[in-house]
Amino acid sequence: MHVPDGFLDAPTSVATMVAAGGVVAASLVRASRHELDERTAPLAGLVAVFVFAAQMVNFPVGAGTSGHLIGASLAAVLVGPATATLCLTVVLSVQAFLFADGGVTALGTNVLLMGVIAVWVGYGVARAVLAVLPRRMSSVPLAAAAGSFVSVPAAALVFTGLFAAGGVAPIPLGPLVAAMVGWHLLIGVGEALITFLAVSSIVAARPDLVHAARGRMPALQLRTPEPVA
Amino acid sequence: MSADATPEGPRPRVSTRRLVLVGAAVCLVIAGVVSFFASRHPDGLQHVAQSLGFAGAARESAAAGSPLAGYGVDGVSNGFLSGGLAGVVGLVVVAVVMGGLVLLLRRLGRRRG
């Protein structure tokens, strides 16, 4: 999904850069005030590193096409949506400047698509799914997977909107939407699978750190043995 | 036997130190080794751009001259080593940048009270 330089015209690229910059600035404030504390901070670093590593592994989705994890929903469920935006922004910036993966003038576009749209759509869907599933920790990976499945075609759909507004080639919108959403639904299946496995691992090891479960899961009964006289 | 509900909710099974060490090791293996076996096919967007005829609009990135461009290390001819090394370098850079950002935000958050 990394948009290269040249797909969108300058005004559209600047507009996405401004929009992404605004959300990143707000996310810095929100993350420091509401999401990052002494206990969860290490997980934020680990999530960014995992997203970078997993994005290197393209999986085949058929007909000579591949996809890779975006990791937006995964990050939002584990460390909170604002911190997820920061994780994705760091990963996308390192990819653009060090690896020439995703354009430099398109960095704002890529942050907007993967670091904002995918994060908030994924998080919103995950929260909605959590609200209807039983209040158990085992619901969290399912909700994260559902959010991630929707987040990928959602980001693809927003790209087609940007391309309709400021794309450099006159492509009819119908076929573009059909192709982008169709392929990214397939990629979303892989995204959901990886998200389920990754979130399950953290839920198994450190359920206390999972952002989306904060205050929503019943407290465990702590049984202390009576002192032996 | 007395039973008290903990305000913290579910209890941790491993220490944070162990979580980060094991997690980092898994990520190193993914970026350094598993990435070599990644599909080389165009991704969803590239594929759509090719089939609808706007792939040619892509311009070379301003960072195309980076020694790590395209997830390889300039001067390392072995594909496995080059890709693996690039992955490990990228992973360390992401860890340092994100770690620094988190530390900074924590410090600012504390100062604000």
What pLDDT score does A62 carry?
Answer: 87
* Residue A65 to residue B44, Cβ atoms within 8 A: yes
Chain A neighbors of B10, CB-CB under 8 A = 137, 207-208, 213, 217, 219-220
* Residue A52 to residue B108, Cβ atoms within 8 A: no
**Would B9 be classed as within a structural domain?**
no
Mean of pLDDT values over A84-97:
98
* Residue B109 to residue A215, Cβ atoms within 8 A: no
Instruction: Give tens-digit pLDDT for A126-138.
Output: 999 999 999 999 9
Place of tokens 């354009």: A103
**How far, in Å, CA of A8 to CA of A159, rounded?**
10
Cross-strand pairs, B2: A224
Q: How many angstroms separate the Cα of B90 from the Cα of each of A50, A103, B43, B77?
A: 11, 17, 20, 18
Cross-strand pairs, A8: A167
The alpha-carbon gap from A125 to the nearest alpha carbon of chain B, in Å, equals 23
Chain A neighbors of B69, CB-CB under 8 A = 99-100
From A53, A104, A105, residue closest to B27, measured CB to CB = A53
What is the end-to-end Cα distance of chain B in Å, rounded? 40
**Would B12 be classed as within a structural domain?**
no
Chain B neighbors of A175, CB-CB under 8 A = 52
**Would B105 be classed as within a structural domain?**
yes
Helix (H) or strand (E) holding B2: strand B2-5
**Would B106 be classed as within a structural domain?**
yes
Model confidence at A224, pLDDT cuts 50, 70, 90, reads low
* Residue B102 to residue A44, Cβ atoms within 8 A: yes
Chain B neighbors of A95, CB-CB under 8 A = 90
**Would B32 be classed as within a structural domain?**
yes
Chain A neighbors of B71, CB-CB under 8 A = 56, 99, 101
The alpha-carbon gap from A35 to the nearest alpha carbon of chain B, in Å, equals 10
**Would B110 be classed as within a structural domain?**
yes
**Residue A108 exposure: Cα atoms within 13 Å on the Cβ side:** 19
Q: Does A170 touch chain B (CB under 8 A)?
A: no
* Residue B44 to residue A187, Cβ atoms within 8 A: yes
Give A69 or B3, the one with higher predicted confidence. A69
State the residue range of the domain holding B113. 18-36+69-113
* Residue B19 to residue A103, Cβ atoms within 8 A: no
* Residue B9 to residue A207, Cβ atoms within 8 A: yes
Mean of pLDDT values over A36-44:
93
pLDDT along chain B (113 residues), means of 10: 47 92 97 96 96 95 95 94 96 98 89 60
Mean of pLDDT values over A169-180:
95
* Residue B44 to residue A215, Cβ atoms within 8 A: no
Longest C-alpha distance within chain B, in Å? Answer: 72
Domains of chain A (ranges plus CATH)?
10-213 (1.10.1760.20)
Count the domains in chain B.
Answer: 1
Model confidence at A215, pLDDT cuts 50, 70, 90, reads confident
On the question of pLDDT at A222 being above 90, the answer is: no
- Complex-level ipTM: 0.92
Instruction: Give tens-digit pLDDT for A77-87.
Output: 999 999 999 99
Task: State percent of chain A over pLDDT 70.
Answer: 94
